[in-house]
Amino acid sequence: MADPGTTGEFALIDWIRRQEPERPVDSWTRVGIGDDCAILAVGEGTGAGCDLLITTDMLMDGRHFHLEQGGPEAVGFKAMGVNLSDIAAMAGIPRAAVVAVALPRANAVEIAHGLHAGMRALADRFAVDLVGGDTNAWDGPLVITVTVLGQATVRGAVRRSGARPGDVILVTGALGGSLAAGRHLKPEPRIAEALAIHRAADIHAMIDLSDGLSSDLGHILAESGGLGAVLDAVAIPIHPDAHEQTRRDGVSALEHALHDGEDFELCLTVAPEAAERLLAAHPAPLYRIGEVTDAAGVFLRSPDGHTTPVEPRGFDHLRAGNER
Ligand SMILES: [Mg+2]
């Protein structure tokens, strides 16, 4: 196999996915690799089953955060938040978390206390129990892996793969510049928003914006059978932080909104009638940014109708230089 450091994260995930049997060997496995969460059909065949959602994320000092800058509490908050965001992406209800940590030996206990306080802050808000894990100390940097278990509602988990041509594309909030003011450390998992939208309308496909709109929308389109999208340049909600980022680097705020990662808003697709209903009833903040097309490729439409291609340029964890 090629060096994952040069082939990129998505190529590696794709490789692992292809090594797994095409048909799951266990009857509980409903959805495996390739979505925001795996789905296990717990109690399949007993008549009292439910769909269990599972997601995990590893954060490493020097790669995903800098411990000396934000402190352990911010790290704990983020580690819990990114996982809850993946549960939100399936329109699920988070239930419990397990946490594995590699603590720097020098001040392991102090760091652990901080991590716990940060995780607990979000776990309290979303009624999540911390039910286990593993603690280690070593001479290396802090590494934390949180795994969250959730439950799909009776309306079912929302996958990435259900987008249809003609669907309206919506996002739940303003995008871009998450690094400018440290917003990337404070994810706001859109759990309540996802559940409210899912109650009000049939969501065809959904993903949380962790790698950037261009990349994450690309995942929906690829998983939905190679569809495309046209985005309205003036409709994309731009976060004030994106403008701040523009002042620093000269890259346009729209570019930041399209490609920056770690907004942790949701991107979803719904039928046009459902979009009308949602935008009128407003069960959560929602912005209509474009529509799904039959032809592959993502395009940006300016007000005069001119379209230009958008290349996915979001965050790839294995690409050199991608450190935040
Ligand atoms: Mg995700």
Instruction: For residue range 215-264, list pLDDT tens digits in order.
Output: 999 999 999 999 999 999 999 999 999 999 999 999 999 999 999 999 99
**Residue 46 burial by CB count (10 A; 0-12/13-18/19+): exposed, middle or buried?**
exposed
Closest CA to 205 of 191, 216, 215: 216
Work out the mean pLDDT of the chain and round it to a whole number. 93
C-alpha 139 – ligand 1 centre gap (Å): 31
C-alpha 34 – ligand 1 centre gap (Å): 10
Average pLDDT over residues 313-319: 62
Lowest-pLDDT choice from 42-46, 84-88, 184-188, 297-301? 42-46
**Residue 113 burial by CB count (10 A; 0-12/13-18/19+): exposed, middle or buried?**
middle
Is the confidence at residue 154, as pLDDT, over 80?
yes
At 47 the pLDDT is 75
CB neighbours of 247 closer than 8 A, spacing ≥ 6?
Answer: none
Closest CA to 264 of 63, 71, 57, 96: 57
C-alpha 89 – ligand 1 centre gap (Å): 7
C-alpha 69 – ligand 1 centre gap (Å): 25
Question: Are 94 and 148 within 8 A, CB to CB?
Answer: yes
**pLDDT tens-digit map of 14-73:** 888 888 888 888 889 998 888 999 999 998 777 777 899 999 999 999 999 999 999 999
C-alpha 94 – ligand 1 centre gap (Å): 14
Query: Scanning the structure block, which residue is given the tokens 């939905």?
Result: 224
101 vs 142: CA distance, rounded Å: 7
C-alpha 206 – ligand 1 centre gap (Å): 9
C-alpha 106 – ligand 1 centre gap (Å): 33
C-alpha 36 – ligand 1 centre gap (Å): 4
Q: What is the pTM of this model?
A: 0.93
Is the confidence at residue 190, as pLDDT, over 50?
yes
C-alpha 176 – ligand 1 centre gap (Å): 17
Average pLDDT over residues 70-86: 97
C-alpha 98 – ligand 1 centre gap (Å): 18
Per-residue confidence band for 321, with pLDDT thresholds at 50, 70 and 90:
very low
C-alpha 264 – ligand 1 centre gap (Å): 8
Which percentage of the chain shows pLDDT scores above 70?
Answer: 94
310 vs 315: CA distance, rounded Å: 15
CB neighbours of 169 closer than 8 A, spacing ≥ 6?
Answer: 217, 229, 231, 267, 268, 269, 288, 289, 290, 291, 292
Average pLDDT over residues 142-169: 97
**Residue 21 burial by CB count (10 A; 0-12/13-18/19+): exposed, middle or buried?**
exposed
- Residue 211 or residue 323, greater confidence: 211
C-alpha 63 – ligand 1 centre gap (Å): 18
C-alpha 306 – ligand 1 centre gap (Å): 31
First to last CA, the chain: 27
Question: Are 37 and 118 within 8 A, CB to CB?
Answer: no
At 126 the pLDDT is 98
C-alpha 44 – ligand 1 centre gap (Å): 26
234 vs 253: CA distance, rounded Å: 12
